């Protein structure tokens, strides 16, 4: 049974600078009283508490119904926090409420889309009838927007109309939030495949269908959160808990330092992607699979360590010799024709190797120059989607069927990690993250899936659950660091 995240509203707080009463020594008393403006007053209380603690003072006389964390020195530390349920390691969902009085819904929090939608009571699709449905006639804060809504996802479509109502998430109240009530949903949203009721988009407004303001954007515009930031800690383990934090990030949930990558286009959470390597191999798989029949590339070439000498491999040497001979013949022909453009043509076809110290420092030693592509961070996608040629090569390496993803569970301990370069940083994805193990059927399948129509790679939950992911909407950047979160089941 899903444990509800949002219960009845907690006692409301109020604090002003004129009410701060200082006791002797290093003790500060902050009287907190009830108020009707919970969001802003919790933020004031939290900021005041943090400031005083940094100055070496100790808080006293907090109201009995106000939470204070002695370790983090936070007033109401759960403010902005949403507990996420892991559904078989393929998607995650949490609870929001809509309307007055509240109607609760489970939603997947999706960085790959920008709209919020929930099933409407007028929807009679099987998927809607199996889930909680929103009845705006029961809400005193509902307002009609009367716009039509339709959106096509990679796995199915939903249709409906637009409405506006009060939305509560993680203890934060968003008034007049626009969203869609669905009137039809494809069968992909039916049980048992889809446990959640609706979707809560966390991408940029430019991606929003119908121009509706995304909930996170509205929270930022109305200063309902500390910072224009949110962060995910996705768990791994059937029926375990993860966390979404709105308005900041938790330094206790990751190891080391966050590696920040600039968003190249503020629509999706899109960053540059320089390449993929297997183990400590030398060759960039994106480059190796480009314009080649990957079924004929010897696996010992791909898996060879960068400290070995893979260039002596017969296949590779033959390719190199053939290319060199072709270049010599062309040069001789150009010389006989007196082509003055020969040198310029050679320069165009053989550009200098990228000598960027950032890339050289962070990519595996000896890696070749790579064609730059891009990838998006998408919590609404289960797997790792990429160009078919590269995915076919990766599938060969790990022994998976390219089309179905099926693979044997017998040799998982022999597999190595892949390394993905994003924004000039390399990130490890270990076998336990790119191989999905069905706990019921006792089968294994690859998380690497070919995409035939996407202009970029899509790094879904299989990648993101290995990292604490921070999304900064103001500075348009994404930060990743190895996750450090204990596994909790319910």
Higher-confidence residue of 303 and 136: namely: 136
pLDDT tens for residues 459-479? 999 999 999 999 999 999 999
Higher-confidence residue of 368 and 425: namely: 425
User: The whole model's pTM is what?
Assistant: 0.75
Task: Give dist(CA 391, CA 401) in Å, integer.
Answer: 10
Task: Give dist(CA 303, CA 383) in Å, integer.
Answer: 23
The residue-averaged pLDDT of 92-120 equals 97
pLDDT tens for residues 318-335? 444 555 555 556 555 655
In whole angstroms, what separates CA 409 from the centre of its chain? 27
Contact 275, 367 (CB under 8 A): yes
Bridge partners (DSSP) of residue 28 are 22, 59
Contacts of 6 (CB under 8 A, 6+ apart): 95, 96, 97, 102, 104, 168, 169, 170, 171
pLDDT number for residue 69: 61
- The dihedral region occupied by 244, where left means phi > 0, alpha psi between -120 and 50, and beta the remainder, is beta
Proportion of the chain above pLDDT 70, given as a percent: 68
pLDDT tens for residues 185-236? 999 999 998 999 999 999 999 999 999 999 999 999 999 998 999 999 998 7
| Average model confidence (pLDDT) across the chain | 78
The residue-averaged pLDDT of 331-352 equals 38
Proportion of the chain above pLDDT 90, given as a percent: 56
pLDDT number for residue 325: 58
Contact 120, 142 (CB under 8 A): no
Task: Give dist(CA 345, CA 107) in Å, integer.
Answer: 55
Q: Helices 342-349 & 314-337, crossing angle to 10 degrees?
A: 160
Task: Give dist(CA 281, CA 267) in Å, integer.
Answer: 34
Contact 168, 99 (CB under 8 A): no
Contacts of 308 (CB under 8 A, 6+ apart): none
Return the HEC string of the chain. CCCCCCCCCCCCCCCCHHHCEECCCCEEECCCCCCCCHHHHHHHHHHHHHHHHHCCCEEECCCCCCCEECCCCEECCCCCEEEEEEECCCEEEEEEEECCCCEEEEEEEECCCCCEEEEECCCCCHHHHCCCCECHHHCCCCEEEEEEEEEECCCCEEEEEEEEEEEEECCEEEEEEEEEEEEEECHHHCCCCCCCCEEEECCCHHHCHHHCCCHHHHHHHCCCCCCCEEEEECCCCCCEEEEEEECCCCHHHECCCCEEEECCEECEEEEEEEEEEECCECCCHHHHCCCCCHHHCCHHHHHCECCCCHHHCHHHHHHHHHHHHHHHHHHHHHHHHCCCCHHHHHHHHCCCCCCCHHHHHHCCCCCCCCCCEEEEECCCCCCEEECHHHHHHHHHHHCECCCCCEECCCCHHHCCCEEEEECCEEEEECHHHHEEEECCCCEEEECEEECCCCCCEEECHHHHCCEEEEEECCCCEEEEEEECCCCCEC
pLDDT number for residue 25: 37
pLDDT number for residue 124: 96
pLDDT tens for residues 418-447? 999 999 999 999 999 999 988 788 899 999
Task: Give dist(CA 279, CA 285) in Å, integer.
Answer: 11
In whole angstroms, what separates CA 459 from the centre of its chain? 7
């Amino acid at each position: 049974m899903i444990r509800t995240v949002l219960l009845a509203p907690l006692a409301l707080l109020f604090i002003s600078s004129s009410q701060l009463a200082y006791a002797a020594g290093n003790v500060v008393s902050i009287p907190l009283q009830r108020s009707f403006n919970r969001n802003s007053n919790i933020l004031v209380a939290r900021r005041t508490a943090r400031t005083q603690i940094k100055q070496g003072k100790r808080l006293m006389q907090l109201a009995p119904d106000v939470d204070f964390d002695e370790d983090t020195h936070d007033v109401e530390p759960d403010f902005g926090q949403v507990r996420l349920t892991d559904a078989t390691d393929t998607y995650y969902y949490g609870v929001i409420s809509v309307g007055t009085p509240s109607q609760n819904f489970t939603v997947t929090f999706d960085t790959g889309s920008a709209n919020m939608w929930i099933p409407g009571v007028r929807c009679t699709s099987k998927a809607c009838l199996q889930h909680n449905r929103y009845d705006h006639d029961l809400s005193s804060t509902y307002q009609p927007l009367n716009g039509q809504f339709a959106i096509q996802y990679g796995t199915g479509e939903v249709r409906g109309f637009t409405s506006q109502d009060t939305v509560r998430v993680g203890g934060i109240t968003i008034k007049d939030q626009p969203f869609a009530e669905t009137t039809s949903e494809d069968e992909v949203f039916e049980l048992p495949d889809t446990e959640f009721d609706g979707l809560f988009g966390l991408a940029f407004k430019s991606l929003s269908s119908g121009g509706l303001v995304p909930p996170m954007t509205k929270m930022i515009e109305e200063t309902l959160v500390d910072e224009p930031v949110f962060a995910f800690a996705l768990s791994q383990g059937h029926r375990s808990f993860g966390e979404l934090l709105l308005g900041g990030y938790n330094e206790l949930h990751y190891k080391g330092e966050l590696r920040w990558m600039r968003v190249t286009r503020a629509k999706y959470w899109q960053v540059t992607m320089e390449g993929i390597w297997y183990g400590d191999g030398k060759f960039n798989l994106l480059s190796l699979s480009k314009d080649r029949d990957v079924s004929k590339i010897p696996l010992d070439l791909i898996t060879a360590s960068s400290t070995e000498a893979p260039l002596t491999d017969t296949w590779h040497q033959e390719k190199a010799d053939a290319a060199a001979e072709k270049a010599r013949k062309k040069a001789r022909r150009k010389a006989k024709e007196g082509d003055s453009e020969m040198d310029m043509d050679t320069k165009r076809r053989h550009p200098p190797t990228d000598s960027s110290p950032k890339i050289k420092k962070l990519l595996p030693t000896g890696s070749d120059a790579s064609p730059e592509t891009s990838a998006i961070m998408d919590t609404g996608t289960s797997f790792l989607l990429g160009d078919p040629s590269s995915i076919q090569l990766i599938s060969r390496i790990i022994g998976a069927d390219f089309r179905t993803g099926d693979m044997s569970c017998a040799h998982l301990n022999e597999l190595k990690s892949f390394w993905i370069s994003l924004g000039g940083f390399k990130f490890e994805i270990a076998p336990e993250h790119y191989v999905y193990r069905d706990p019921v059927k006792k089968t294994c399948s690859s998380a690497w899936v070919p995409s035939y129509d996407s202009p970029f790679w899509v790094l879904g939950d299989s990648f993101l659950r290995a990292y604490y992911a921070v999304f900064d909407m103001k500075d348009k950047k994404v930060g990743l660091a190895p996750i450090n979160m204990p596994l909790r089941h319910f």
